[in-house]
Amino acid sequence: MLTSAQATEDESWSQYESISKQQGDFDSTILESECKTAGLKNPIRPEKGDEFDPPESPSAAWWRSVEADEMIATTLSFQTPSGGWSKGVSYHRPPRKLGEAYSPGDKKSRETAATIDNGSTTSEIRFLAEAAIHTSRKDCMAAVQKGLGFLLTSQYPSGGWPQFYPLVGGYHDLVTFNDDAMAKVLSLLMCVADARQPFTFPDAATRQRASEAFRKGIACLMQSQVTHSGKLTGWCSQYEPRSLKPAKGRAFEPVALASAETSRLMQLLMSVEASDAGIATAVNAAGNWLKEVQLHGVLIEKRMDPTAPKGWDRFVVKNPTAPPLWARFYEIETMRPVFGSDDGTLHYALDEIDYGRRVGYDWYDSRPRDVVARQWPEWIAKRTAQDKFPTNP
């Protein structure tokens, strides 16, 4: 027999799945209605584009420009009925047409689904919040509020976020740390909760909900940090939503510790002002793990090869003067760098995997370098000076 706590937990998951399905059905109905009105048999597929790329730190004059107006209009038009945004859509174009899908992909389940992958949704929310501050446009404020509602609704009862919402199935339903997806969501919610620029206009109720979701997300991070041989280490790229056990992503993405994602989560935790000894333990454990598994004396080189399908190949070469480098994935049991092929097989050397995957994925990363060498020690020094809690590794 289920305990009352287990029954409550099951009810919360059932409710989450029901709301997701209802939202997905509603979103599809909206698009189908648009197609009917426009006389279309099938939705128009938008042209693929780069990821969302507004100007970096635009001037006040830019926000009053025609270019800004056009980009705002297109961004608003591609907000899905659920409140998020898809990925891979070009925003350097006119607004979405009636009956046009929200995603350039060819899968029906993603025609209206939004995602936090590749910075999607969080980037658009931040952009429109900046637009609202600089232009006082009510439609931008409303879109931000709707986008925040999307993030709050799509959070799992366990505190994590799926890659796509409404849920579309497969690995997309896993709690996703990959490519810093969840870190970006939590960073945004922290800004909203603290009323940091540009999120000075959301009301108190929204800030309170953002604060609660943020705390729940941090608890998810603490619970999902991997312990090996009695020691806390880093984080994986994906987790099962309920159990928060590490999970496999795509065929070539193994159940493994992820170096870049771990360093980004360290940055997030170090940015929490009201941090405690638990956060200090998590940060220091992750930092120590990254120090232990860093690679020395190797470089990744791209070399021209006329016999290769793309005319070039990627090699790991020895170089004693090379700065520290990290493999993307580390096998949990052995802490060895691990690489995956499209057929699902795992290998311990880059040259052992198939050519397409070898050159089509970033298997090594330097992003942890500054976190380990500078940001983490500076954070320790600051916390020690403030005597908030012991932070020495």
Domain spanning 225-393, CATH class:
mainly alpha
Relative to beta strand 326-327, strand 364-365 is antiparallel
Q: Which DSSP category does 51 fall into? A: S
3-class SS of residue 259: helix
Shared fold status for 19-224 and 225-393: yes
Domain spanning 19-224, CATH class:
mainly alpha
DSSP 53-90: -PPSS--HHHHTSHHHHHHHHHHHHT--TTS---SSB-
Q: Per mean pLDDT, which range of 149-158, 258-267, 271-280 is the poorest?
A: 271-280
**Which has the closest alpha carbon to 182: 233, 222, 144, 139?**
222
| C-alpha neighbours within 13 Å on the C-beta side of residue 86 | 29
Please tell me the distance from the alpha carbon of residue 87 to that of residue 68, in angstroms, as a whole number: 20
* Contact yes or no for 340/315 (Cβ under 8 A): no
Instruction: Please indicate whether residue 157 or residue 275 has the higher confidence score (pLDDT).
Output: 157
Residue range 71-106, pLDDT digits in tens = 999 999 999 999 999 999 988 899 999 999 999 977
3-class SS of residue 122: helix
Residue reference for tokens 């170090």 = 270
Residue 256 structure tokens: 């493994």
Specify the pTM.
Answer: 0.95
- Break the chain into its structural domains and give their ranges: 19-224, 225-393
* Contact yes or no for 226/257 (Cβ under 8 A): yes
Q: Which DSSP category does 100 fall into? A: B
Please tell me the distance from the alpha carbon of residue 56 to that of residue 24, in angstroms, as a whole number: 34
Average pLDDT over residues 160-170: 97
Q: How long a stretch of residues is the chain?
A: 393
Average pLDDT over residues 373-383: 94
Residue reference for tokens 């990744």 = 300
Instruction: Please indicate whether residue 374 or residue 47 has the higher confidence score (pLDDT).
Output: 374
The pLDDT score that the predictor gives to residue 390 is 55
Residue range 224-262, pLDDT digits in tens = 999 999 999 999 999 999 999 999 999 999 999 999 999
Relative to beta strand 238-239, strand 257-258 is unpaired
In whole numbers, what is the pLDDT of the chain averaged over residues?
94
Other residues' Cβ atoms within 10 Å of the Cβ of residue 90 = 16
Residue 5 structure tokens: 């706590």
With residue 33 as reference, give the H or E element that holds it: helix 4-38
